[in-house]
A and B are shown apart, each in its own frame.
Chain A
Amino acid sequence: MQGNIYSMRDTFGKLLVEMGEKLKDIVVITADVGDSSRASYFKEKFPDRYFNVGISEQDMIDFAAGLSATGFKPVVVDFAMFLMRAWEQIRNAVARMNLDVKFVVTHSGYSDSGDGSSHQCLEDISLMRVLPNMKVIIPADPADIRRSFPVIMEELRGPLYYRVGREYSPSITDGLEYDFKLGKAYVLKEGDDVAIMGAGVVLWDALRAAEELEKKGISASVINLLSIKPIDEQTIEYYARKTGRIVTIEEHSIYGGIGSAVSEVVVKRYPVPMRFVGATGFGRSARSQRDLLDFYGINYKSIISSVMELLK
């Protein structure tokens, strides 16, 4: 497995400081997880624009909404799971008033491996994508963060959910030349027999599966969806037509997540058989995120067996 110099959260933390230098209206708000999320890098540079509200997620959301109402650009940084505690505040204040508040979550999916199921968040994509006005972006690796986060802060207004992991960050998009654009998917590999689609760190498994399939004479396209809401309907339709079968992979529940989002497009535009690789229950403790992905079968092996099933 190819490594990255920085983890997902370190990359985000450093980039947040760079954006803070560029955009003076950025304020960073967290609920006592500044160090673990790397939001505290921002505090070192801009102590007056950094707020730790304490372990008070609900208050944090409306506080950010209020700052936004006076013209600031709040970036709310929290663990994915504990931000969900304030879902109703996100819904009723930020989304309902369509305020310019960005939510950046670390520790998403299984990335908080040791802490177990209370800290692992496999429901957030579904909960965020259902909200009117909310955009949902999931970078694949540190390179994808560097591509997308500046654009998000500089060009996109309104509520946006940005899903970052923790340490685990296999290289997926390094060296690829593409710019982030809202609602645009990116092709990581071209192939004719099946399309593997997903977002986040599990795209490493999508590429690995494609490699293995190649050895069996099966050619797979791999699509980095990146923008889950809005989603790239055109690209999804194109690859549904081109390959005739789709496997989705996500580090998230298959109920309401990325697979569901893709299937909503597919049934509308060009129905093809699909399989969904993802979680169906809670997580558990493990020494590494990789152990969990393998334990729950959210990996290249499951993708391969799903593809074989579709090709039968």
Chain B
Amino acid sequence: MGERDGIPISLEELNKLKEIAERARRKVIRMLFYDQTIHVGSSLSSIEILTTLFYRYVKDGKDPINRDWFILSKGHAAPALYAIMSERGLVSDDDLWKIQDISGMLQGHPETFIPGVDMSTGSLGQGLSFGIGVAQGIKMRGGSGRVYVVMGDGEQDEGQVWEAMTHAVARKLDNLIAFIEINGFQLDDSTGSVKPKEFLPDVWRSVGWKVLNCDGHDFISLISTIDEAIKAKAPVVIFANTVRGKGFPVIENTKKQRSSPDDARKYLLNA
């Protein structure tokens, strides 16, 4: 897995990514049979980004400076991460269906005791700072690893993001690629009605980040954007337009995170 950056995508690989994403999407929705409190909407917003990163970019390995790191700063999208991890063979189906259960391994938010999780998250606004520390450590040791951080748009309300945003530029970290998913919703309401967000790309650009945009559900768009990000000589932030609840019509593009097992069953039977 990984290390495919810069290689043009074949139709075969594109179809493979689509299939993986679709299976992961169904797994997230199927988790609703077992637990109705998981954040399905936010997870479905992240599926294609995670699929692309893990199947084309993130280099595995044990050496902390010559492998890539993946930090799910929007930790509530853990079901999406776990679904991709199950596709990669890191967790079993049995683990998946025991998500959040007292007897299960998979926590409501990522924990480093789960194989394949690089940072324990769940409290918003912390992933980028951790990523900066890792990226700096890699640079100091002369490693080749890159750091990928995925954040949400609501998460941008956190003051720590400002601290981190300015810090990464001060350190000139060109081995750091951040995503901000623009799905338009945070916990209570649409992002715009809670706090304006439209100025964000201007802010990141002004501070000194290379700012890119993409369609966060389109593999071609994701791949061409990440390929460009990798070539940059500055920290890069990719604003990825996504849809909360993407592909699950009963909650799609609403602030609703959850749905019933019945809705999940209907979707899985018809889709």
Contacts and interface: CB of A to CB of B under 8 A. Distances in A.
A93 B140 contact: no
Contact of A62 (B122, B126, B140): B126
Contacts of B133: 62-70
B167 interface: yes
Interface residues of A, number: 26
B130 interface: yes
Interface string A80-95: 0000000011001100
A67 B167 contact: no
Q: Chain A CB within 10 Å — which of B126, B129, B133 has the most?
A: B133
B163 A97 contact: no
A60 to B, nearest CB: 8
B167 to A, nearest CB: 5
6 contacts: A54-B166, A62-B130, A63-B167, A65-B133, A70-B64, A93-B119
A53 B126 CA distance: 15
A51 B137 CA distance: 12
B64 A71 contact: yes
Interface of B: 64-65, 69, 111-112, 118-120, 122-123, 125-138, 140-141, 143, 159-160, 163-164, 166-167, 170
B163 A66 contact: no
Given A62-B129, A63-B167, A96-B111, 20 more contacts: A53-B163, A56-B166, A58-B159, A59-B132, A62-B127, A62-B128, A62-B164, A65-B129, A66-B130, A66-B131, A66-B133, A67-B137, A70-B137, A70-B141, A71-B141, A89-B123, A89-B129, A89-B160, A92-B122, A93-B126
A53 B130 CA distance: 13
Nearest to A72: B137
A61 B141 contact: no
B174 to A, nearest CB: 16
A44 interface: no
Contact of A97 (B112, B134, B137, B143): B112
A48 interface: yes
Contacts of A89: 123, 126, 129, 160
Nearest to A63: B133
CB-CB nearest 7 A-B residue pairs: A66-B133, A70-B137, A62-B129, A59-B163, A56-B163, A66-B134, A63-B133
B120 A59 contact: no
Nearest to B139: A70
Q: Chain A CB within 10 Å — which of B65, B132, B163 has the most?
A: B163
Contacts of A72: 137, 140
Contact of B136 (A54, A60, A66): A66
A97 B170 CA distance: 27
Given A63-B132, A88-B123, A53 B167 contact: yes
A32 to B, nearest CB: 12
A59 B133 CA distance: 9
A92 B126 contact: yes
A69 B64 contact: yes
Nearest to B123: A92
Interface string A29-65: 0000000000000000000100101101011111111
A133 to B, nearest CB: 12
Interface in A205-245: none
A95 B118 CA distance: 15
Contact of B137 (A48, A59, A69): A69
Given A56-B167, A97-B120, A61 B129 contact: yes
B176 to A, nearest CB: 10
B168 to A, nearest CB: 10
A92 B110 CA distance: 12
Nearest to B145: A70
B148 to A, nearest CB: 13
Contacts of B140: 48, 70, 72
Q: Chain B CB within 10 Å — which of A62, A65, A72, A92 has the most?
A: A62
